[in-house]
Structure 1
Amino acid sequence: MAVNSKATTALVVLAASFVAVLMAAREASAAVTCGQVGTSLAPCIPYATGKAATPSQGCCSGMKSLNAMARTSADRQAVCRCLKSLAGTVKSVNLGVVAGAPAKCGVSVPFPISMSTDCNKVN
């Protein structure tokens, strides 16, 4: 029985491509993206900057949605890093107000919202 080397090579390339796609899909779903964090929390900007006295319904909904998305330690670490990054881009953010926002919305966040939080230690 003769082995067709072109067919064998094609199967190996196909198998390797399939494994690469599966790994990329797994890695892509391993953590919440900064885009998702930003979109979820955009309605909170007026509250975080002192332009609103309380978090809006949209802000609380976004927090609840984000909290539900962050199921794994990797997700929560990604959210932590994104929060710290986004806090630096929004002018006039009051981090004390931001830290208390989840409680005002009835959301339990498993890490302190602070620029000093070590996101690598978030579980």
Structure 2
Amino acid sequence: MMKKLLLFLLLIYMVVTPPSTKANVITCDTVNDSVIPYLNYVTYGGNVSEECCKSFISCLNNAITTSDRQIICSCIKDLFFTATNILVKRTASIPEKCGIKFPFKISKDVDCSKVL
């Protein structure tokens, strides 16, 4: 009888408890999608748009764990593989222009494994 009760309680627990999956999975695809609002600034210079700042903030808000931030770092670094220095410099200036504290230095040579 006790065994059946325990199995029943376990079944109830499994049905009632939501799975512990992360809602926002960070991938290079999500990072690449977030790049679109600031392509104009990075390519041509000028002023950083509100959409650009919102995109950076959204990307950061989704980076909950150290692993998330390291993935974002690696994806940005991959995007820089063929980028010119001016494109990298403009991208690196976005957090400051938006008043955002970014968790790592945006550059071609950042060590993403050290991002916390």
Q: Normalising by structure 2, what TM-score?
A: 0.72
Structure 2 partner of 1:11: none
Distance 1:115 1:108, change over 3 A: same
State the identity as a percent: 35
Determine if the alignment matches structure 1 residue 77 to structure 2 residue 70: yes
| Structure 2 residue runs without a partner (length 5+) | 1-18
Determine if the alignment matches structure 1 residue 122 to structure 2 residue 112: no
| Structure 1 residue runs without a partner (length 5+) | 1-21
Matches of 1:29 and 1:88 in 2, distance apart? 29
Check whether the contact 1:87–1:93 (CA below 8 A) recurs between aligned residues: no
Structure 1 partner of 2:55: 62
Structure 2 partner of 1:39: 33
Q: Normalising by structure 1, what TM-score?
A: 0.69
Matches of 2:39 and 2:75 in 1, distance apart? 15
Determine if the alignment matches structure 1 residue 103 to structure 2 residue 89: no
Matches of 1:66 and 1:100 in 2, distance apart? 16
Q: How many corresponding residue pairs?
A: 98
Which stretches of structure 1, 4 residues or longer, exceed 4 Å deviation after superposition?
28-31, 89-93
Q: Considering only aligned residues, what root-mean-square deviation do their CA atoms show, in Å?
A: 2.4
